[in-house]
């Protein structure tokens, strides 16, 4: 049986790992290569890097980090943040990333997902959607934001997910901007809405505070995987804690590593 995946996410800024509450107030928490190795050893099913560097120097550092991580981590590695075109994707895949996640750039250039998927295969193209609740949205109730949540758009999140799948995204990384950083649990309603309407796997993200939050979004939100940063990052809970909780609720997990 296919296991539900537990994915720690590392936010990387100029070569260092950080995690911010609601994407601001960055706190330095370590070396990404070491962190990735630890997660690999402690049972992560995948690792996700989100590059939040604003500069070209920061970006170049990322390629180095990715290739170092690929030498020591033998689980899938997804890298996102600032990807604008096929050349960026090619560089990341060549450095050793298995998948790339595309966020704002797809909003500005919707053909990007299709171009990327046609060139590299849908298995490596993840559409990242930062969704926020919007009272005036009468379709799904959620709109898409860009730039790490800083800019709001009037694009409906569900329609965007369906279009992304049609264009060849192999997976959707769905972050609730309302839940992100709150540690009060994932947005189950959002996750379920999107996941039941697309056939590709959906990774739930934003809001994880304790292992039962993961169980809930996997069971009630129909997610294929859960992503979390700070709860793993500061050692509040381990991946194993989460998997034990999942097992308690009979959710299939990968429990030997």
Contacts to other proteins by CB under 8 A: 1-5, 40, 45, 67, 70-71, 74-76, 93-96, 98, 120-124, 170-171, 199-201, 224-225, 254-257
| Among candidate residues 149, 100, 148, 107, the one with its CA nearest the CA of residue 126 | 100
- How far apart, in whole angstroms, are the C-alpha atoms of residue 138 and residue 12? 36
- How far apart, in whole angstroms, are the C-alpha atoms of residue 221 and residue 215? 9
Decide if 88 is catalytic: no
- State in angstroms the smallest separation of the CB of 168 from other proteins: 10
C-beta of 47 vs 50, nearer to other proteins: 47
Which position among 11, 134, 180, 213 bears the catalytic label?
A: 11
- State in angstroms the smallest separation of the CB of 152 from other proteins: 29
C-beta of 52 vs 75, nearer to other proteins: 75
C-beta of 134 vs 171, nearer to other proteins: 171
Do residues 230 and 27 make contact, with C-beta atoms less than 8 angstroms apart?
no
- How far apart, in whole angstroms, are the C-alpha atoms of residue 117 and residue 91? 15
Which position among 88, 130, 156, 187 bears the catalytic label?
A: 130
- State in angstroms the smallest separation of the CB of 185 from other proteins: 23
Decide if 130 is catalytic: yes
Kindly tell me the burial class for residue 47, based on how many C-beta atoms sit within 10 Å of its own C-beta (0-12, 13-18, 19 or more).
Answer: buried
Q: Number of C-alpha atoms within 13 angstroms, CB side, residue 109?
A: 12
Residues serving a catalytic function are 11, 130
């Amino acid at each position: 049986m296919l296991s539900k995946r537990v994915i720690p996410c590392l936010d990387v800024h100029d070569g260092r790992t950080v995690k911010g509450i609601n994407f601001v107030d960055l706190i330095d928490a370590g070396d990404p290569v070491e962190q990735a190795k630890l997660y690999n050893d402690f049972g992560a099913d995948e690792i996700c890097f989100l590059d939040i560097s604003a500069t070209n120097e920061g970006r170049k550092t990322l390629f180095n980090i990715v290739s170092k991580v690929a030498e020591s981590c033998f689980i899938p590695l997804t890298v996102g943040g600032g990807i604008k075109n096929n050349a960026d994707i090619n560089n990341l895949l060549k450095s050793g990333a298995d998948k790339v996640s595309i966020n704002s750039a797809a909003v500005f250039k919707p053909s990007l997902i299709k171009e990327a998927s046609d060139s590299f295969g849908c298995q490596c193209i993840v559409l990242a959607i930062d969704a926020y609740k919007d009272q005036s949205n009468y379709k799904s109730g959620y709109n898409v934001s860009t730039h790490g949540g800083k800019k709001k758009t009037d694009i409906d999140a569900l329609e965007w997910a369906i279009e992304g799948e049609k264009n060849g995204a192999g997976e959707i990384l769905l972050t609730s901007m309302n839940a992100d950083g709150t540690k009060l649990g994932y947005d189950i309603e959002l996750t379920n809405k999107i996941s039941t309407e697309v056939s590709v796997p959906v990774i739930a993200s934003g809001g994880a505070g304790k292992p039962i939050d993961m169980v809930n979004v996997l069971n009630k939100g129909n997610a294929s995987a859960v992503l979390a940063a700070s709860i793993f990052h500061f050692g509040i809970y381990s991946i194993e804690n989460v998997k034990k909780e999942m097992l308690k609720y009979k959710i299939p997990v990968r429990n030997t590593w």
